[in-house]
A and B are shown apart, each in its own frame.
Chain A
């Protein structure tokens, strides 16, 4: 671990709950993590683990009702985002923190041209003239690998392929040189050859612009391995493990992380007949077990796991794990 750096984004004990048919769904329940300057931080988990809600909470884009951020703190460059007035928050969105989504077709407005949507954002945040914004927009398209950017500005989203739409989204997100880019499953809807192009582009754009940090949200551990420096593994609305990426893959500490990694088919490591699996299914968000959220699927489960939820504690410098196996009491 290097010397202590001041975090760019600090999330502490974030709680985002949804009201579902009169019951409380704790989608995000006490999430804490830091993103440092110039870092690619992965947030990985299966569907329903709360990773996307965490990202939307950072931008305060949780639809209310039914959702609400009921507790915790989010500090961005020292400023408390949850206390900002709405108008100030709008200045941060798209400008200092921007986001790209999984499905570029639904994130782009189909009835406006790509150029209109790019220029709108640039003008809104910089107040520059239309012509200046247009030049900037064309430059951005060229930069993300859409040749002939100026002409493509007058195209509509449907005239772009899936990969090009995601490139346009990245151009849009980075046109204002944000400090933090939140990418929510940015390549899940794309083919592998296009996926590797887009991931490479995202990393490359960090050096071309001012070295933004990236919060990469994904279900795909392989994508994490190839792009991130640190990673948090989420399950049941909570972070179960945080680690630098190489130790996480070489020596995962949490039984859930261990199970996930083992269940991936690895043709590059020779053929195995059967994949090890994690038994059972993800518990319903409305009926989470009282103790450890992973207890009923965990091969290491013992009595205390059902009774008492473990804390996320630092078990080695820079490594956090939420598991009773790794505290002083251990299996007792």
Chain B
């Protein structure tokens, strides 16, 4: 069940990667991968984070588990027991107790599993770290139970990753993430590498597990139709900023930000009949996060851009409950048409 309590809060998160150049390796600039993201993941929900390559969605996810170092801002996690804690302020040792509760699933089921380890060892590793008290027999039981939970069999624990297909490997990755009884799973493009017929199986599995264990997902993907299927809420990211966030129905039926509209309109539909509304054509390609335009990051490709868009990064403004948009131009239009 989705509660109204957050499990994770990004507060003005920045992840900048410095660039050093020249003989003295002077600091010449920053890649602003994540540039002021504020976002909440509610307990028990799936928050979809979509955007094109280079928009910072993966870095946002990685920042939670410290695979990317935040340079500014907070990531507040609400653990099972105790008070909310800012993960950014913790050191390695301080972070460890929370790692069991936050797990990650990766895109590529081929490179995220160690080919020299049996699948059983891969799934058992997090248990040896987080539950060192388990006996061998208990650990084996848990591994077999996890394998069955993800639709494999306990006997397959002795096999190696190369003996599995892509979809089965992704199931192993999911079993490993579930081993520590997490509450929040960061899923970074978990089905992008899978064939269509397998993709649906893995999506269903993730939904079943969410129901059974009350998991929260931060579901990061570029495929809008997948994100819209699995998510309760969707956040759209462009060049390091969230441009729109809202309930999935609102984002799908009544998007407001020009980028969200263009993105939705570019998605091909498996329906060859004529009568699809005219495409919003975006000119050009996203600028590099190294040379971010001033003000609104989307203004260089936006069909509605006006001079004032260059001034400052527009803040997210709530339009209807839960639906926030970072575009003063469209909001202005909307309020004027309402009279």
Q: Tell me the A residues contacting B by CB distance below 8 Å.
A: 46-47, 161-164, 191-197, 199-200, 219-226, 228, 245-246, 248-250, 259-261, 263-268, 271-279, 281-282, 297
Contact = CB atoms under 8 A, between A and B. Distances in A.
Contacts of A272: 229
A277 to B, nearest CB: 4
Contacts of A223: 268
Contacts of B204: 274-275, 277
A275 B165 CA distance: 21
A271 B199 CA distance: 17
B226 interface: yes
Main secondary structure of the interface of B (DSSP, over half): helix
A272 B271 CA distance: 18
Contact of A268 (B167, B195, B269, B273): B269
Contacts of B270: 221-222, 224-225, 249, 261, 264, 266
Interface in B63-104: none
A222 B199 CA distance: 15
A192 B196 contact: no
A249 B167 contact: no
Main secondary structure of the interface of A (DSSP, over half): helix
Nearest to B201: A277
Among B203, B228, B268, find the residue whose CB has the most chain A CB atoms closer than 10 A.
B268
B263 A193 contact: yes
Interface in B263-309: 263, 266-273, 279, 281-282, 285
A200 to B, nearest CB: 8
B168 interface: yes
Given A191-B222, A266-B225, A278 B197 contact: yes
A195 B269 contact: no
A273 B230 CA distance: 8
A190 to B, nearest CB: 9
A163 B228 contact: no
A219 B195 contact: yes
Contact of A267 (B165, B195, B252, B262): B252
Contacts of A226: 268-269, 272
A263 B197 contact: yes
A259 B200 CA distance: 11
Given A192-B267, A249-B272, A275-B200, A282 B225 contact: no
A195 B200 contact: no
B198 interface: yes
A233 to B, nearest CB: 11
Contact of A246 (B168, B226, B272): B272
A239 B228 CA distance: 32
Nearest to A48: B195
A245 B195 CA distance: 21
28 contacts: A46-B197, A47-B195, A192-B222, A193-B263, A194-B52, A195-B268, A196-B266, A196-B281, A197-B281, A220-B268, A225-B269, A225-B272, A226-B269, A228-B272, A249-B270, A249-B272, A250-B273, A259-B197, A260-B197, A265-B228, A267-B228, A267-B248, A267-B252, A272-B229, A275-B200, A275-B203, A278-B197, A278-B200
B224 interface: yes
A209 B82 CA distance: 68
A192 B52 contact: yes
A263 B269 contact: no
Interface string B22-65: 00000000000000000000000000000011000000000000
Contact of A263 (B200, B224, B230): B200
B207 interface: yes
